[in-house]
Amino acid sequence: MNNQRVYHFQEGNAGMRELLGGKGANLAEMTNAGLPVPPGFTVTTDACREFYEKGGQLTDEIFNEIKQAVRLLEQKKRQEFGNPDRPLLVSVRSGSVNSMPGMMDTILNLGLNDKTVQGLAQSTENAKFAFDSYRRLIQMFGNVVFGVEGIYFENLLHSLKEKYGLEQDRDVSEEQWRELIGQYKSLILEKTRREFPQDVYVQLNLAVEAVFRSWNNQRAKVYRKVHQIPDHQGTAVNIQSMVFGNLGNDSGTGVVFTRNPSTGEKSLFGEYLINAQGEDVVSGVRTPMPIRQLEMEMPEVYAQLLATAQRLEQHYKDMQDIEFTVEKGRLFILQTRNGKRTAQAAMKIAVDLVRENVLTPGEAIRRIEVSHLDQLLHRAIDTEAALEVLATGLPASPGAATGQVVFDADTAEEWGRSGKRVILVSMETTPEDIHGVLAAEGVLTSRGGMTSHAAVVARGMGKPCVCGCEDIRIQSGLFTVDGQMIREGDWISIDGASGRVIRGEVSLKDPEISEELSELLAWADSIRKLKIFTNADNPEDSAKAREFGAEGIGLCRTEHMFFGADRLSVVQEMILSDTLDERRIALNKLLPFQQGDFEGIFRAMNGLPVTIRLLDPPLHEFLPDMEELIQQSVELKYAQKTEETVKELERVEQLLRKVRNLHEFNPMLGQRGCRLGILFPEIYEMQAEAIFRAILTCRGEGIEVLPEIMIPLVGHEKELKLMRELVERKAEEVLGEEKEAIPYKIGTMIEVPRAALTASKIAQHADFFSFGTNDLTQMTFGYSRDDAEGKFLTHYLEDELLSTNPFQVLDEDGVGMLIDWAVKQGRSVKPELKTGVCGEHGGDKQSIFFCHKTGLDYVSCSPYRVPLARIAAAQAQLEFGSASTAANGRNKVATTS
Ligand code: ADP
Ligand code: MG
Ligand code: MG
């Protein structure tokens, strides 16, 4: 084992982040690249872990290593730590592996004491500067090491300036700084019963310990939780010789980005302060100047800064965020890191770097954070004009939504089902409200923060959400805000990106794909192997998805077409029918609707495959709720008997009988999917007929139709065989002669574990497998999703029993194993078997990576996630190369057949 815990900057490089932290690794990299970095060294993250293992104590061993490193620094700088004649001063800087801006603490000017401050005054011939530096040290040290709150120091400084009638810190004289230093020392003594240490090595020891300890301060802990940074990682400490930006008007300090971090535009962006040190730029004591100004004030330094910025960007091949200090006209670089940027800037910068030949298209694609695409691809409010903003809450989940107000999840679901757009407004949401969130366009809560239940759930579902909007007061059936009243059913709009709550309906605009994004997507398309399909149930969504680059429809759910206002009553008529003939009559009424839907979708997807799933949900979903019917029947029984009420009662009772009849103990595992098609073949016959008729009509219009008919919930090969025969019969009947010319496919969803296990048998009757990973996850885990997410899944996730929600991120170990097996088995009997995943997982990066590795042909996701999926699929190809499973599967067949 390597016991080295201290590395001089010359000994490290950018690849050593885990050990040296990001800041240390980059300081090393820059030192070795010959950039003007003040010399120093890094105490490793290993040392930090050791510090915690020893109960929060720096061991003598480590401290001796640090002392040796200081000695080397002394030689390099020709100065001596604690020597009043030529004192060495250092900064003690935290630096974790993942950047955690401002989360941990840094101390500057360490090595100053009552004696060395005199030496510094003499050697710089600037006593005012020396004492200013000293009071800064005492303040930072008092704050970081002894925990005295900064405000006490600020107050003393403020009183001092008031006493002498001074405006700015720079007006304070040497004498006055000395006075303040005395006050600071007493303050520390009074608050902590400890003296500010005069021994510079004691200063150093305590400072390093304090930086290690700051890894566990409250803000750092919260930041890690939010950004999923592991607690055990620890921080490194950088000890670096000081350079001074506060030495006069030929000195200064600042921060620059090599490109504009909000637009991505290629021009130096940043701020600086003349005659200032370290944190002054960000702390807001003085208003900094825009970096352009430096070109006028110090043209040579500016030219050097510009050149250095360009060099750093070329070196790191990415936009950099750089800290610099100018000491008496000399530029020093104190930090560089990949700059944080907005989603929009990220796309522009990636494309520009390719155009400038800094990156290859593949490197640019690898860089893209898919979560950025998620941000870019949400709807927004169309116009800013004349918005009546009622209140502003927390911007908890991006995107805008407009709809009618409802106050509970059940109403949200009911109204949503009848085709209304609703916004769920609630004090806060609980896991019991999931179905309401699902049905709503967006969610507004009056309580709860960015990590409240509503916020987390809405983000997970990609729905707009405004949280903690405390100005609204919810009462029963209405809310008030600022003297105005909004009732259930009134229209409001919310903007989850800004937190605004707006009165009335507003028009929303669909997200647009910028020129840069479309360039990136084109590169991604040329790289990826996995095809990207979409889930769409109507022509509008299909067209939208196609615009976003979908290469087909992977899942068209026919039941959604049954819910429309004009159809539901016919569907109910069909369900209530007691005889086959009655049922046929109702189905015949439905047929033209279905046919029309399919025609619309085929037109929108001209030339691309369309996978249509035959009816899947249990029939009771189309009937009213049982409790409601009981209530109605009771009310009617007690109502005055008229011809009308008698008839109505009869109708309600009939419905009730049917609902009771259809009642199931566990509908998820009940009479649904192909089981419906087997018991009521006339339903699937009608659907198949509608599909084939639509094909004929569209072909007549010159449209190329590539239909794929999908049988849901198959668990046994005989089920599929039977349903395939049914569809083939209809094809024969409707298409006649033309049948041969039409390239239709018949396949199945693999969503019952038994189907996955017996895939080689199922494949004999299937042209394709589409993994319905939502049901497959439910049945593999034995979780019903609504119950799981409503009851215990949150607990499982919080306690890390599960690392991710398996309904969002595909469970590779279990569900993934079934998929892998089924693909291999299926292809062993049918090498050309087409395979894909449909459902939410198809739009999740990690799950897409899995699908690529497993050698699936496509993933299918919601229209707005198609661009994200295109990028993720390209990233998978770049990361893992071409999938091996697919090739192996095919080879096996070739050699055994
Ligand atoms: P943070 O991670 O909060 O940015 P840093 O360690 O980067 O903390 O330091 C805080 C400020 O002090 C920065 O402005 C930095 O440039 C400045 N600074 C750090 N070390 C030195 C040094 N050796 N000489 C001059 N300024 C320094
Ligand atoms: Mg910094
Ligand atoms: Mg299913």
What's the pLDDT at 283? 66
| DSSP sequence for 342-383 | -HHHHHHHHHHHHHTTSS-HHHHHHH--HHHHHHHTS-EES-
Calculate the CA dihedral of residues 352, 354, 357, 360 and round it to 10 degrees. 160
CATH of the domain at 459: 3.50.30.10
Residue 679 sits in the same domain as residue 796 = yes
Ligand 1 centroid distance, CA of 84 (Å): 24
Ligand located closest to 276 CA: 1
Is-contact 523 351, C-beta < 8 A? no
When pLDDT is cut at 50, 70 and 90, the band that residue 460 belongs to is low
User: Kind and range of the H or E element at 722?
Assistant: helix 717-735
What's the pLDDT at 448? 77
Atom 26 (ligand 1): residue with closest C-alpha? Answer: 278
Average of pLDDT values for 308-314?
95
**End of a domain among 341, 370, 390?**
341
Ligand 2 centroid distance, CA of 45 (Å): 18
Alpha carbon distance 74, 672 (integer Å):
79
CATH of the domain at 677: 3.20.20.60
Residue 434 sits in the same domain as residue 504 = yes
Residue 500 sits in the same domain as residue 410 = yes
Residue 728 sits in the same domain as residue 834 = yes
Average of pLDDT values for 608-628?
92
Q: What is the pLDDT of residues 634-678, one digit of tens each?
A: 999 998 889 999 999 998 998 899 899 888 889 889 999 999 999
Tell me which residue of 880, 890, 885 sits closest to 527, measured CA to CA: 880
Average of pLDDT values for 384-390?
84
The CB-side HSE value for 687 (13 A sphere, CA atoms) comes to 27
Residue 574 sits in the same domain as residue 688 = yes
98-107, 202-211, 259-268, 544-553, range with the lowest pLDDT: 98-107
When pLDDT is cut at 50, 70 and 90, the band that residue 132 belongs to is very high
Does residue 774 register a pLDDT over 90? Answer: yes
Helix (H, G, I), strand (E, B) or coil at 226: helix
Q: Report the residue among 253, 323, 333 best suited for mutation to probe ligand 1: largest number of ligand atoms under 8 A from its CB.
A: 323
46-60, 446-460, 579-593, range with the lowest pLDDT: 446-460
245 Cα nearest atom in ligand 1? 25
Whether 429 is covered by a domain: the verdict is yes
Q: What is the pLDDT of residues 485-494, one digit of tens each?
A: 999 999 999 9
User: Kind and range of the H or E element at 761?
Assistant: helix 759-762
When pLDDT is cut at 50, 70 and 90, the band that residue 623 belongs to is confident
Is-contact 376 517, C-beta < 8 A? yes
Residue 869 sits in the same domain as residue 797 = yes
Can you tell me which residue has the tokens 């030949």?
Answer: 357
Alpha carbon distance 610, 633 (integer Å):
44
Ligand 3 centroid distance, CA of 745 (Å): 19
Ligand 1 centroid distance, CA of 32 (Å): 20
When pLDDT is cut at 50, 70 and 90, the band that residue 458 belongs to is confident
Alpha carbon distance 323, 93 (integer Å):
13
The CB-side HSE value for 106 (13 A sphere, CA atoms) comes to 21
Alpha carbon distance 794, 434 (integer Å):
12
How many CB atoms within 10 Å of residue 286?
15
Q: What percent of the chain is predicted at pLDDT more than 90?
A: 76
Strands 768-772 and 745-750 come out as: parallel
The angle formed by the CA atoms of residues 719, 771 and 836, to the nearest 5 degrees, is 120
Ligand 2 centroid distance, CA of 96 (Å): 11
Residue 446 sits in the same domain as residue 320 = no
Alpha carbon distance 10, 31 (integer Å):
6
Alpha carbon distance 598, 362 (integer Å):
39
Token couple for 754: 């038994």
Atom 27 (ligand 1): residue with closest C-alpha? Answer: 278
Q: What is the mean pLDDT of the chain?
A: 92
What's the pLDDT at 451? 63
Average of pLDDT values for 464-474?
92
Is the model more confident about 863 or about 520? Answer: 520
Tell me which residue of 366, 382, 103 sits closest to 219, measured CA to CA: 103
Ligand 3 centroid distance, CA of 616 (Å): 7
Tell me which residue of 616, 645, 621, 262 sits closest to 417, measured CA to CA: 621
What's the pLDDT at 34? 95
Q: Which long-range contacts (CB under 8 A, 24 or more apart) does 187-190 make?
A: 187/142, 187/148, 187/152, 187/153, 187/156, 188/138, 188/142, 188/146, 188/148
What's the pLDDT at 77? 96
Whether 94 is covered by a domain: the verdict is no
Atom 15 (ligand 1): residue with closest C-alpha? Answer: 278
Residue 737 sits in the same domain as residue 835 = yes
Q: What is the pLDDT of residues 425-435, one digit of tens each?
A: 999 887 678 78
Q: Which bin fits 549, alpha (ψ -120 to 50), beta or left (φ > 0)?
A: left
Whether 412 is covered by a domain: the verdict is yes
**How many structural domains comprise the chain?**
3
**End of a domain among 341, 366, 390?**
341
Ligand 3 centroid distance, CA of 567 (Å): 23
Q: Report the residue among 70, 93, 336 best suited for mutation to probe ligand 1: largest number of ligand atoms under 8 A from its CB.
A: 93
Q: Report the residue among 27, 41, 91 best suited for mutation to probe ligand 1: largest number of ligand atoms under 8 A from its CB.
A: 91
Atom 17 (ligand 1): residue with closest C-alpha? Answer: 278
Whether 794 is covered by a domain: the verdict is yes
Is the model more confident about 224 or about 472? Answer: 472
Atom 3 (ligand 1): residue with closest C-alpha? Answer: 102
- Provide residues with CB under 6 Å of ligand 1: 38, 91, 93, 102, 106, 108, 240, 242-243, 278-279, 323, 325, 334-335
Residue 313 sits in the same domain as residue 286 = yes
Tell me which residue of 247, 203, 201, 243 sits closest to 80, measured CA to CA: 201
Instruction: Report in angstroms the alpha-carbon separations of 423 from 112, 401, 761.
Output: 61, 8, 47
Residue 399 sits in the same domain as residue 332 = no
Ligand 1 centroid distance, CA of 211 (Å): 13
Token couple for 371: 């979560």
Q: Report the residue among 108, 133, 242, 281 best suited for mutation to probe ligand 1: largest number of ligand atoms under 8 A from its CB.
A: 108
Does residue 709 register a pLDDT over 90? Answer: yes
Atom 6 (ligand 1): residue with closest C-alpha? Answer: 93
Is the model more confident about 868 or about 795? Answer: 868
What's the pLDDT at 887? 40
95 Cα nearest atom in ligand 1? 2
What's the pLDDT at 795? 84
With 0-12 / 13-18 / 19 or more C-beta atoms within 10 angstroms meaning exposed / middle / buried, residue 702 is exposed
Does residue 610 register a pLDDT over 90? Answer: yes
Token couple for 692: 């084939």
What's the pLDDT at 284? 62
Does residue 886 register a pLDDT over 60? Answer: no
Ligand located closest to 751 CA: 3
**End of a domain among 458, 481, 509?**
509
Helix, strand, coil percent content, the chain, rounded in steps of 5: 55, 15, 30
Per DSSP, helices labelled H in 790-844 are: 793-798, 815-829
Whether 837 is covered by a domain: the verdict is yes
93 Cα nearest atom in ligand 1? 6
Alpha carbon distance 791, 786 (integer Å):
8
Atom 13 (ligand 1): residue with closest C-alpha? Answer: 278
244 Cα nearest atom in ligand 1? 25
Ligand located closest to 771 CA: 3
When pLDDT is cut at 50, 70 and 90, the band that residue 895 belongs to is very low
Whether 396 is covered by a domain: the verdict is yes
Backbone angles phi, psi at 508, to 5 degrees: -110, 145
Atom 8 (ligand 1): residue with closest C-alpha? Answer: 106
What's the pLDDT at 799? 80
When pLDDT is cut at 50, 70 and 90, the band that residue 850 belongs to is very high
Ligand located closest to 272 CA: 1
| DSSP sequence for 6-73 | EEEGGG--GGGHHHHHHHHHHHHHHHHTT-----EEEE-HHHHHHHHHTTS---HHHHHHHHHHHHHH
What's the pLDDT at 896? 33
Number of H helices, E strands in the chain: 36, 31
Whether 293 is covered by a domain: the verdict is yes
What's the pLDDT at 814? 98
Does residue 889 register a pLDDT over 60? Answer: no
When pLDDT is cut at 50, 70 and 90, the band that residue 525 belongs to is very high
Backbone angles phi, psi at 715, to 5 degrees: -125, -20
243 Cα nearest atom in ligand 1? 24
Tell me which residue of 775, 776, 772, 774 sits closest to 748, measured CA to CA: 772
Residue 779 sits in the same domain as residue 734 = yes
Does residue 1 register a pLDDT over 60? Answer: no
Residues with active-site annotation: 453, 838
Average of pLDDT values for 241-263?
94
Does residue 864 register a pLDDT over 90? Answer: no
Is the model more confident about 851 or about 371? Answer: 851
Does residue 386 register a pLDDT over 90? Answer: no
Ligand 2 centroid distance, CA of 20 (Å): 15
Ligand located closest to 323 CA: 1
Range of the domain at 775: 528-618+664-888
Instruction: Report in angstroms the alpha-carbon separations of 101 from 106, 282, 337, 340.
Output: 11, 11, 11, 10
38 Cα nearest atom in ligand 1? 23
- Stated pTM of the model: 0.82
Residue 676 sits in the same domain as residue 722 = yes
Does residue 891 register a pLDDT over 70? Answer: no
Ligand located closest to 41 CA: 1
Ligand 1 centroid distance, CA of 437 (Å): 46
Average of pLDDT values for 83-103?
90
Whether 299 is covered by a domain: the verdict is yes
Is the model more confident about 454 or about 119? Answer: 119
Token couple for 369: 């954070």
Atom 20 (ligand 1): residue with closest C-alpha? Answer: 91
Q: Report the residue among 98, 106, 243, 333 best suited for mutation to probe ligand 1: largest number of ligand atoms under 8 A from its CB.
A: 106
CATH of the domain at 313: 3.30.470.20
